[in-house]
Structure 1
Amino acid sequence: MRKTTLPRDTLAGLVNAVVSVPDGLASAALAGVNPVYGLYTSVAAPLAGSALVSAQLMQIATTSAAALVARQAVAAQPAERRPEAIFLLAVVAGLFLVVFGLLRMGRLSRFVSHAVMTGFLGGVSVVLVLDQLAPLVGFAARGRNPVAELANLLANVGRFDPRTIVAGVLALGLASGLRRTRLATWSSLVALLVPTVLVLLAGWEGVQQVSDVSPIPRGFPLPALPHLDLLSPELLASGFALAVVIAVQGVGVSQTVENPDGRPVNPSRDLIAQGAANVASGLLSGIPAGASVGQTALNVAMRARSRWAGILSGAWMLVIVLLVPGLVGLVPMAVLAALMIIAGLGALDLREARSIWATGGAARWAIAVTFAATLVLSVPVAVGVGVVLSIMMHLASASDVTVRALVRLPDGRFAEEKPPPRLPSEAVTVLHTQGSLFFAGARRLEESLPSPVGAVRPVVVLRLRGRTRVGATLIEVLDSYADELEAVGGRLYLSGVEGAVRDQLRRTGKLDLERVVRVVPATTILGESTAQALASASAWLGRPRATRPRAGSA
């Protein structure tokens, strides 16, 4: 750490630590465990994660999505064992994230459908809001899912606690109102303090406080191994789902942050950093954590210059935990609920959802199904639904292949038109493809190629420019098509072939590159290799059949 960056990083770390107090308390309460565990997370996660991140200003902290997944994952455990289960869950998710990073899976996030991710995050945000309505009004709602809990809540309006509502609504008003002022950075802290002071001064004993839910231990816990007797297939599945949620959000955050020193960001390395943060959090009695959009933006706004901003944030939080643990127990649960509702509403991107919905087609189905699954099913199941939908959409896009015929105009330019169903005899047909040619795309190409049946000496020039590699399915399709052309005395030319693809075709040994298939390498000039293939094919067709030498000598 340079002396010139120390003041900015220290200030950014202090501000982030103060902001982490209400966020950490609220996230742990959302996870269904003692809110102080959220503060422990705000110590362990930044200290372990910030030392490893490639996006140096990315802040790893408690997040509402991770807390919600954790809550559902340990809901079946007895109340007294939920903390132990959630510590183990953090470690399991952290190990999965480390594996993801070592396998360089950060780049795979691009294959997650945007519509699926938007629907999932929107569902998580709505579930977050619905889950916090009960503590906001002082009534314990029951139900199999958030929608059922909402129905139970509305059926018991008469049992709401007015004083709890006053404290919660005051926190809501302060948090939302101050966000539009110069005090936006401190809005959560003010919303935490003012209602707490009001409840204490007014002597509202009926308002539930953090200490009423769980006692607040003094000091900071020593590292402890998780209770492996709680390990089960269900917890492993939940840990995997949690790791996927953290990974996708983390990649999104890391790609939006530029390093002050100009070094490139490595999403896979950031997965390892988040994995280490979760392992450290679990070993130090913390809840799962991930890349925080808000706190990362705060680092940028405070003009932090290095990873030390995150490390110092953890150090400042440790000071806060050691000095003022008793004050945490005085915070009303309704205030924490209000802060989480604000976070949930802020995470809802209605504009993006409307845009996706207006797109129609598969995107509309993807966002609707994922959103509904998140509301009525568990988050791990909703993640599974999202993964399946992403795979289906990827396969559908892979089969969205179009084939167009290129016809040379009198002025030398080429025009696109629909290819003929059957190839003409003694003529060259130039074909251009668009879309992925892997897997289903290759089979779609096979169905779209003009048939050589009934033609005499047809020649096809198939443009492959821009294809950096080809799959086994495409090679099989090209080999079969070349055999059909050879059967009627024709040939297949592959133009615009990159060097790596040419080597790949040769290594397979499947295509007859000496007689039936001719490869024309790509050049730096667009259309040049296709023009060369067209000229070569025309010259070959111009030879009389009786005197034409064997195809391999042309």
Structure 2
Amino acid sequence: MRFYGRFEGYNTNSFRKDLLSGTIVGIVAIPLGMAFAIAAGVKPEYGIYTTIIAGILISLFGGSKYQIGGPTGAFIPILFAIVMQYGYENLLIAGFLAGVILVVLGLCKLGAVITYIPKPVTIGFTSGIAVIIFIGQIANFFGLRDIEKHEDFYANIKELLAHLSTTNGYSVLTASICLFTLIIAPKYMSKIPASLVGIVVSSLIAYVCYEGQVATIASAFGSIPNTLPSFHIPELSWERIRMLLPAAFAIALLGAIESLLSAVVADGMTGSRHNSNRELVGQGIANMITPLFGGIAATGAIARTATNIKNGAVSPLSGIIHGVIVLLVLVALAPLASNIPLSSMAPILMLVAWNMSERKEFMHIVQTKTSDSVILVVTFGLTVLTDLTVAVEVGLVLAVIIFVKRMGEGLIVVKVLPDRTIKHEKVKAHMVSKEHDCPQIHIYTIEGPLFFGDATVFDKSIRSSLLKDSKILLLRMGKVPFMDTTGEAYFSSIIKDFVKTGRVALISSIQPQPLSMIKHNKLDEVIGEEHFFDHTGMAISHALQQLDNDKCRGCKHFAFRECTYLSMGQTAEKKAY
């Protein structure tokens, strides 16, 4: 790993900026870390451990100078589902395996591939996650009692409705105070994190005015220890690994997407450029080590990264400082944090859900009423009603199917002939008609990629119009940028069937990639090296010399200028097209 480039020109003034930004982000991260852990179904201190360890490691080994790592809201549904289905110990193993996957992705230089996930898919599952987070905090907001949490969305809604009668007025008041503070604090105290102000104000009011009337972190999970997390290696077995691999892949995919999106946001704010592959390796290292100390999955946090930049961060040291600050607060103030009401945490997560919902982008794509709208709605619905893994898989498959359909529709295969009314007699499709079509020479213009999605269209378009007495097939391929193995197979089949009966195939203006595919399968030898031309005019001139002049005698099609002479039984004059 190369570190010196990230600290080039670093000085005392740079350190002061990093110290300030790291301290502010560390204060912001404390309530968020606890809230995310609680929402994911684990103890709040595990969120703090994640913030400390993953935050430091991501800054040390990641590919962005400004990235702040830690637990995020995006992980809540998937981590909660793993805890519900497999338990906390297996959650740690899934996180560790996800780290291994991320490291492998980074070392294989697949960082750029993640960015190709279609926007409707990412917005769909992000909005779905936001809905799940928001709904999941209703119980704490209203102080509902005896709530049993389920993986199924419908079951959770039924559970909430069945227990609305247990609403605690004090919890509603506490949550409302926190929410109100979250809204107005940025207007009057812009230098202090709103989430911290909201928690402090609402917790103090609850403690002073109606102590013991609302559920707190201590009453629900026990007191937060003010000690460092202990090192523990989860018990691994092949059976556990096989069982948890799907969950690990889901965590890795989501972590990769979130971290790289955050890095892109940081690039946009600073004019810098992150290293996507190094970022994945850094995220992987953090997610491999954090579970060994009881921490949950971590990734790049967009809001905290933006806060880091806005407060003047200049290097990864700000992220390291942010982790150290959280550690110091844990040691010094853990007993006080234990008295935070759960209803004070709920509005913070609800606001996180609101901010991550991508509501404007969501509505914009829906209103386009295109295939992207379908992908978006399907991904969103499956995220809410089933789980993130299914949603992303179906969304991606649907996006690929629609993409292939679009690309297939984009392939153009048309029969053409020279238009004598324009300069250089360029070939045009409108020149071909029943009365004006050379029986011996067939010229086709092909436009678009020739791949598995449209190879059959290409095959049918040419075979259906080839006449039995055709002698020469000329394919204009200047606008075919790409050919895959399926496209090459159909292309090869047409050429071989044509050539094996003694007829001639000509190729003009072929691009490098399709040419390499043809040469790889030695189809160029079947066609003949002399039958490849840089320009269509040269190919037509060659084709005219290969005509059966006896068949031309008396022909009334006059497809080419030379046909006037050939029809009368004379030799064609050479004409440069």
Q: Same fold (TM over 0.5)?
A: yes
The separation in 2 between residues aligned to 1:178 and 1:415, in whole angstroms, is 69
1:210–1:519 Cα change, 3 Å: farther
Q: Which moved more, 1:239-248 or 1:480-489?
A: 480-489
Q: How does 1:57-136 map to 2 (within 5 A)?
A: 57-77=66-86, 82-136=87-141
Q: Which moved more, 1:214-223 or 1:256-265?
A: 256-265
> Alignment partner for residue 506 of structure 1, among 488, 510, 519?
519
The separation in 2 between residues aligned to 1:466 and 1:13, in whole angstroms, is 52
Please state whether the residue corresponding to 1:432 is helix, strand or coil: strand
> Alignment partner for residue 536 of structure 2, among 519, 525, 533?
533
Aligned-pair CA distance for 1:404: 5.0
1:332–1:267 Cα change, 3 Å: same
Aligned-pair CA distance for 1:335: 1.3
> Alignment partner for residue 442 of structure 1, among 452, 455, 466?
455
Equivalent residue number for residue 453 of structure 1: 467
Counterpart amino acid of residue 521 in structure 2: T
> Alignment partner for residue 24 of structure 2, among 15, 22, 46?
15
Equivalent residue number for residue 54 of structure 1: 63
Equivalent residue number for residue 523 of structure 1: none
Equivalent residue number for residue 552 of structure 1: none
Q: How does 1:488-503 map to 2 (within 5 A)?
A: 489-498=503-512, 501-503=514-516
Equivalent residue number for residue 371 of structure 1: 380
CA contact 2:450–2:480 (8 Å) conserved in 1? no
Matched, 1:269 2:278: yes
Matched, 1:410 2:422: yes
> Alignment partner for residue 341 of structure 1, among 326, 350, 366?
350
The separation in 2 between residues aligned to 1:484 and 1:421, in whole angstroms, is 25
Equivalent residue number for residue 226 of structure 2: 218
CA contact 1:459–1:537 (8 Å) conserved in 2? no
Aligned-pair CA distance for 1:149: 1.9
The separation in 2 between residues aligned to 1:448 and 1:171, in whole angstroms, is 67
TM-score, normalised on structure 1? Answer: 0.87
Equivalent residue number for residue 524 of structure 1: none
Counterpart amino acid of residue 177 in structure 2: L
CA contact 2:26–2:323 (8 Å) conserved in 1? yes
CA contact 1:403–1:448 (8 Å) conserved in 2? no
CA contact 1:497–1:519 (8 Å) conserved in 2? no
Equivalent residue number for residue 37 of structure 1: 46
> Alignment partner for residue 432 of structure 1, among 446, 460, 464?
446
Equivalent residue number for residue 551 of structure 1: none
Q: Which moved more, 1:96-105 or 1:414-423?
A: 414-423
1:232–1:206 Cα change, 3 Å: farther
The separation in 2 between residues aligned to 1:10 and 1:424, in whole angstroms, is 79
The separation in 1 between residues aligned to 2:50 and 2:209, in whole angstroms, is 32
Q: How does 1:270-419 map to 2 (within 5 A)?
A: 270-405=279-414, 408=419, 410-412=422-424, 417=429
1:404–1:71 Cα change, 3 Å: same
Please state whether the residue corresponding to 1:461 is helix, strand or coil: strand
C-alpha offsets along residues 79-119 of structure 1, whole Å, 9 cap, x if unaligned? xxx44333223212211211222222222224422212211
Aligned-pair CA distance for 1:360: 2.6
1:383–1:260 Cα change, 3 Å: closer
C-alpha offsets along residues 463-505 of structure 1, whole Å, 9 cap, x if unaligned? 24472x532212212212223443483423141422x543442
> Alignment partner for residue 548 of structure 2, among 534, 545, 549?
545
C-alpha offsets along residues 221-266 of structure 1, whole Å, 9 cap, x if unaligned? 1322123369354432211111111112222222333299977433
1:399–1:198 Cα change, 3 Å: same
The separation in 2 between residues aligned to 1:113 and 1:74, in whole angstroms, is 29
Please state whether the residue corresponding to 1:400 is helix, strand or coil: helix
Aligned-pair CA distance for 1:15: 1.0
Aligned-pair CA distance for 1:457: 2.8
Count of matched residue positions in the alignment of Structure 1 and Structure 2: 531
Counterpart amino acid of residue 240 in structure 2: L
C-alpha offsets along residues 167-190 of structure 1, whole Å, 9 cap, x if unaligned? 112112221333456627611111
> Where do 5+ consecutive residues of structure 2 fail to align?
1-6, 551-570, 572-577
Matched, 1:207 2:221: no
Matched, 1:156 2:163: yes
Q: Which moved more, 1:65-74 or 1:143-152?
A: 143-152
The separation in 2 between residues aligned to 1:489 and 1:14, in whole angstroms, is 78
The separation in 1 between residues aligned to 2:387 and 2:431, in whole angstroms, is 49
Q: Which has the larger radius of gyration?
A: 2
C-alpha offsets along residues 31-59 of structure 1, whole Å, 9 cap, x if unaligned? 11111111111110121111122221122
Aligned-pair CA distance for 1:196: 0.7
The separation in 2 between residues aligned to 1:49 and 1:186, in whole angstroms, is 22
Aligned CA RMSD, in angstroms, stands at 2.9
The separation in 2 between residues aligned to 1:105 and 1:75, in whole angstroms, is 32
Equivalent residue number for residue 485 of structure 2: 472
Matched, 1:191 2:194: no
Q: Which moved more, 1:446-455 or 1:220-229?
A: 446-455
1:183–1:455 Cα change, 3 Å: farther
1:429–1:199 Cα change, 3 Å: same
Q: How does 1:156-175 map to 2 (within 5 A)?
A: 156-175=163-182
Counterpart amino acid of residue 465 in structure 2: S
CA contact 2:226–2:332 (8 Å) conserved in 1? no
Q: Which moved more, 1:391-400 or 1:104-113?
A: 391-400
The separation in 2 between residues aligned to 1:350 and 1:246, in whole angstroms, is 21
1:273–1:416 Cα change, 3 Å: farther
1:476–1:518 Cα change, 3 Å: farther
The separation in 2 between residues aligned to 1:222 and 1:185, in whole angstroms, is 32
TM-score, normalised on structure 2? Answer: 0.84
The separation in 1 between residues aligned to 2:227 and 2:121, in whole angstroms, is 43
CA contact 1:456–1:488 (8 Å) conserved in 2? no
1:412–1:174 Cα change, 3 Å: farther
1:310–1:455 Cα change, 3 Å: farther
The separation in 2 between residues aligned to 1:355 and 1:460, in whole angstroms, is 46
The separation in 1 between residues aligned to 2:165 and 2:379, in whole angstroms, is 34
Equivalent residue number for residue 236 of structure 1: 245
1:536–1:182 Cα change, 3 Å: farther
Please state whether the residue corresponding to 2:468 is helix, strand or coil: coil
Identity %, equivalent residues: 21
The separation in 1 between residues aligned to 2:180 and 2:340, in whole angstroms, is 17
CA contact 2:413–2:461 (8 Å) conserved in 1? no
